[in-house]
Structure 1
Amino acid sequence: MTDDAPELRASDADRERVAEVLRDALAEGRLDMAEFEERLDATYSARTYGDLAPITRDLPVGGAGAAPRVSMTKEPERDGGWAGRITGGEGSSTWAVAVMSGFQRKGRWTVPRRFNCFAFWGGGEIDLRDADFAAGEVVINCVAIMGGMNVVVPPGVEVVVRGIGFMGGFDHSEEGVPGDPGAPRVIVTGFAFWGGVGVERKVTRAERQRLKEERRQEKLERRQERERERLERGSGRRELDASRSDGHDRHGLDGLHDLHGGRERELERERERRRDT
């Protein structure tokens, strides 16, 4: 945790990174359950970096022995392809435990080659939509005892489910969907007793917003096209009405001219008869 700006406000992502360190420490036996719950409560109630710093000061990170630090710089943007998301190296978190509680792994994190998670009378969510991957094939090992877990994968990722359920089950609905070229392969395995492990495929929030904006733009274009057609039809009817009106006026004038001319001819013939007599 950074000590050079303790007054800066911590974000949800900062708190979640500290919570991951605590969960790993619980799984490794560095913290007992009472210490874990106390520090986790302090993590989620922390407002600044200065509040977060003491929580993990005595815990190693990734076996390196250094206290966890929150990055003060923005992470570089991805190149948009799967190749940029398969990074190699180690994962940012390898364990997750929920005992009469819950856990989450979501946002920008690196999935290790094997991620182990355990839930007893609790639940957890492993969200891979914004994650990087340490390898082209990763294993999510889930053990759910009277609890449940949910694995969320993005479109394009191949999913293989090999878990075993006893009075419980694993969701196989996303199996058999071909993956994109170069996309990672996610194997979901483990054991469920009086519990379940779900697997679902969802787009990211940014992609969902993009699709929503595309649909909104398509609706707007269709509405504009219908309005143009309506105006064109209205203009055509007005021109036709005007043409008919002009025709009726000309026909009426021609009739009047004919009537006037006929009367003049009759008067001329009457004058000729009188001259003859």
Structure 2
Amino acid sequence: MTRVTDLDRDRAVELVQQAYADGRLDPAELEARLERALTATSACELTPVVADLPGDEVVRIESVGGRVIRTGDWKVPRRLRVDSEYGNVRLDLSQAHVPYGRVDIELRLAYGRALIILPAGASADVDEVRTDWGRVVCKVPGRLGTGGLHVHVTGELPYGRLTIRDARR
């Protein structure tokens, strides 16, 4: 039996709340699902709470040599994967619509570089980013803050570079 973490419960609660906000659940279903999510102790108990809800699919962006740029007012998915062989990636979340408390970003950059810009008060975890000859620089707190956005970055950058910083004023 796989025990669930507080983070797993928080993700489930976010999906249930978003489904309610989207009109997919009525108030009674919202209350029932939230109770089940908050009291779940195993993955077997938590999975059925969100199994039929949208929002946990991975949005994929692929590029060979071009740039991947997302700035301004764009809707950030909860899970994003970016594959780029030689191009550069710029993900500016500072003015974006982020309906989640946590966003997972997976980067697959062979030679390119990535810049992720976060709103003030956000944090990022880059412990699962693997690089051979590349470089990872994170200029924001690594621990989950109180109430702010937390970005969990994973992936492989054999020769690529990743920089994460907050928005400059």
- Mapped contact 1:88–1:133 kept (Cα < 8 A): no
- Mapped contact 2:138–2:165 kept (Cα < 8 A): no
**In 2, Cα distance between equivalents of 1:155 and 1:98:** 29
Aligned match of 1:88:
18
Structure 2 counterpart of 1:199, one-letter code:
I
Q: Could you say if the C-alpha distance between residues 133 and 191 of structure 1 is closer, same or farther in structure 2, counting changes exceeding 3 Å?
A: same
Aligned match of 1:251:
none
SS in 1 for 2:163: strand
Aligned match of 1:248:
none
SS in 1 for 2:18: coil
Identify, as 1 or 2, the structure richer in strand. Answer: 2
Aligned match of 2:116:
151
Aligned match of 1:113:
78
1:184 CA drift (Å): 1.7
Q: Could you say if the C-alpha distance between residues 182 and 134 of structure 1 is closer, same or farther in structure 2, counting changes exceeding 3 Å?
A: same
SS in 2 for 1:186: strand
Aligned match of 1:171:
137
- Mapped contact 2:70–2:91 kept (Cα < 8 A): yes
Aligned match of 1:222:
none
- Give per-residue Cα distances to partners, 1:196-249, cap 9 Å, x unaligned: 11111114xxxx4xxxxxxxxxxxxxxxxxxxxxxxxxxxxxxxxxxxxxxxxx
- Mapped contact 1:102–1:123 kept (Cα < 8 A): yes
- Give per-residue Cα distances to partners, 1:83-122, cap 9 Å, x unaligned: xxxx83649x922222111111111122112110011111
Once the two structures are superposed, the pairs formed by residues 1-277 of structure 1 within 5 Å of their partners are 88=18, 90=55, 94-162=59-127, 163-176=129-142, 179=145, 181-203=146-168, 208=169
Aligned match of 2:41:
none
Structure 2 counterpart of 1:145, one-letter code:
A
Aligned-residue sequence identity (percent) comes to 25
Give the alignment's TM-score, normalised by structure 1: 0.38
1:125 CA drift (Å): 0.4
1:187 CA drift (Å): 0.9
Identify, as 1 or 2, the structure richer in helix. Answer: 1
1:138 CA drift (Å): 0.9
SS in 2 for 1:133: coil
Structure 1 counterpart of 2:130, one-letter code:
I
- Mapped contact 2:122–2:141 kept (Cα < 8 A): no
**In 1, Cα distance between equivalents of 2:142 and 2:73:** 27
- Mapped contact 2:123–2:143 kept (Cα < 8 A): yes
- Give per-residue Cα distances to partners, 1:160-217, cap 9 Å, x unaligned: 11211111122233234763x32221111111011111111114xxxx4xxxxxxxxx
Q: Could you say if the C-alpha distance between residues 178 and 114 of structure 1 is closer, same or farther in structure 2, counting changes exceeding 3 Å?
A: closer
- Give unmatched runs, 5+ long, in structure 2: 1-16, 20-54
**In 2, Cα distance between equivalents of 1:193 and 1:112:** 25
- Mapped contact 1:144–1:197 kept (Cα < 8 A): no
Q: Could you say which structure has the greater relative contact order, defined with CA pairs below 8 angstroms and 6 or more residues apart? A: 2
Give the alignment's TM-score, normalised by structure 2: 0.61
- Mapped contact 1:143–1:191 kept (Cα < 8 A): yes
C-alpha RMSD of matched pairs (Å): 2.3
- Mapped contact 1:119–1:148 kept (Cα < 8 A): no
Larger Rg: 1
